[in-house]
Structure 1
């Protein structure tokens, strides 16, 4: 396989308006003000109605997902009954709390030292029809080793998870400036993400596109996993930390591959868990030219506190294990983007939040906005899944990215 090592300069042109797979009202959102997101009294009656109805729909979805997560967490609650397991959990918390306290992304997330051997094959005809271009599925063996030595044997036993998958939409005259997308929890399907984020529109606008599969999702889900993403929360708090560490590590290996093929401009976006991951990666790897977390979570522990019935199981597990709350809070910061300084310049950061979101409440995005020196911040009046006025924020993304990606 041959690669062009020098990218062509491609002027950006927008062929048409972005098309969304689910028709949504193009109700304009807006930029956050100096104080952050708007207060309820600042919204129009129409915007309030959309926010309220969106929030109700999100609460129903949140309860469904939390119920599914509760089933996943039952084994970890049972293991907490064993003194040896409870002691091991406290040791894990101490390990990640110490890493977090150092606030050193290089120490917390070591860079890959082995270049990936990437295998590429043409994607199915549906993918090429959606993109209206050249689409390949990529895979390579993960070189990730658990950050916590006590977890290395466990992580090494994951067979499917340790093969990294991505989909690459690449122009024949490429490489071009590349937009990388990281999906949300349970939402790894390439076709869904390609349509939901109007990636064919970005592709026709001149971008190459990468869709990256998070650990334990899609083809990376272990055999007999009941759903995509199951492994993220099935191995306790330490397992979640290592899943986040592997997400960062494997994406950096993918960046190594893209860099080898000649890509020299990269923008990164992601939704929900993908927004969390993209914000974290932007604090670890300086090859990210611009970053756009979309409805991100930044403190998962606070979010889960509102997710009934999963919050009850978490509380029960911590009570049984005698978890030190202060230690747990400190350890949680290990994988939070709030713990590290962002590497892209302020003008290269944009955050998107939904006012009706109750899976990743907009207050989470506001925390990131404050940590990121009150960078560009766009809100829309929809919820976590129904992105009302999505065409509006897609246009906002385009205006934001153009100077960094095509000038």
Structure 2
């Protein structure tokens, strides 16, 4: 199998990164002058993008401020936080994320010709009804009311000669289009290298966005903390149904990668389901509460909402652990975990990836000198991914 992928269709400067050392990510003094320039320029560009996304999130969360003025709403919010904090304290993924009980009944149709032209193979869009039931009983009626979100969507690239080892990709916040993700991650090259490919649509994104949603992903943060917790629970549940479907079709080896929110989700799934052969979180967030603290102006809206509802910050932090991969023991063996981060990333700062690295027993860890979107030296980390997966995905 060739370990040198084609040049990514989205051109990026090829400034090499490297694997982390035993001390972790490099210090600034350890970088070359060229790498320092790329990191600094990437960080400045990311700050602008972060502010734009944080402003969008702040607007999304504004309606929840009104609930903070209601005594009954404030009490309900505290009760919900206590519910997730209690689950998090148990550190039991079987309680936090119950497995689907049935293999989904999947409907499939041929994707558009552009998708098949890009993949150079058979591409199908699949869908099925989600069997997810809200973990918190108080939210089950609300979650059932999200009719579009409760239909799971994915795109499946398959070879004609039967099931192959499958690389699954989970996109980031607002980044659900199949075409973009297929090109950004050079998935046609992985497909030509022998992998089947599956692109999973996260809850409230793409075709799963509810009618009237102003943008893809709006519902993830529009329903307060409890809404985010249940969205993550559903993301895990529905992906496990995807694994059930893949196994039903004969797939016996699955590798999972994801970017940003998808990196967070992939790391969490690796602590919930032991059927994953390899996991590669890419620029992951692992402690969302700490990340939002740095995201102006969203951090101000969160602080005001907590003040109005008299929410205890320690309780919020404890509840946030419910969906954090830092709260659970990884089920994927250490030699099959690889973390990728960008030193100039200011949306998912590299120290978040380093926290996951420490929790994951200092597994394989690769950095590049770009930011959250501009993955400088992407060809380098694609080659790293290929070498990493080759032996146990194609034995």
Q: How does the TM-score come out when normalised to structure 2?
A: 0.99
Distance in 1, matches of 2:97 and 2:282, equals 23
Q: Secondary structure at 2:62's aligned position in 1?
A: helix
Structure 1 residues 369-400: Cα deviation after superposition (integer angstroms, max 9, x where no partner): 00000000000000000000000000000000
Name the CA distance, whole Å, in 2 between partners of 1:348 and 1:33.
18
Is it true that 1:119 corresponds to 2:102 in the alignment?
no
1:69 and 1:274 mapped to 2: Cα distance?
Answer: 17
Match of 1:324 in 2: 312
Select 1:135's aligned residue among 118, 123, 131: 123
Q: What is the CA-CA distance between 1:26 and the residue it aligns to? A: 1.1
Counting only pairs closer than 5 Å after superposition, residues 3-402 of structure 1 correspond to structure 2 as 13-14=1-2, 17-402=5-390
- Contact 1:18-1:394 at 8 Å conserved across structures: no
Structure 1 residues 114, 285: closer, same or farther in 2, change over 3 A?
same
Contact 2:10–2:183 (8 Å) recurs in 1: no
TM-score normalised by L of structure 1: 0.96
Task: Report deviation, 1:276.
Answer: 0.1
CA distance in 2, matches of 1:229, 1:17: 31
* CA RMSD after TM alignment: 0.7
| Cα distance in structure 2, aligned partners of 1:342 and 1:367 | 14
Is the CA contact (8 Å cut-off) linking 1:32 and 1:377 kept in structure 2?
yes
CA distance in 2, matches of 1:124, 1:22: 21
- Whole-Å Cα distance in 2 between the matches of residues 15 and 278 of structure 1? 23
Q: How many residues align?
A: 395
Residue 122 of structure 1: how far off its partner (Å): 0.2
Q: Deviations over 1:141-169 (max 9, x none)?
A: 00000000000000000010000000000
Matched position secondary structure for 1:400? helix
Contact kept in structure 2, 1:19 and 1:201, CA below 8 Å: no
What SS does structure 2 have at the residue aligned with 1:166? strand
CA contact (8 A) 2:97 2:233 kept: yes
Corresponding residue number in structure 2 for 1:10: none
User: Structure 1 CA distance, aligned partners of 2:70 and 2:3?
Assistant: 61
Cα distance in 1, alignment partners of residues 263 and 348 from structure 2: 10
Partners of 2:181 and 2:14 lie apart in 1 by 20
* C-alpha contact 1:15 1:204 (8 A) present in aligned 2: no
Q: 5+ unaligned residues in a row in structure 2: which ranges? A: none
Deviations 1:248-305 (A, max 9, x none): 0000001000000000000000000000000000000000000000000000000000
Q: In the alignment, is the contact (CA less than 8 A) between 2:3 and 2:386 conserved in 1?
A: no
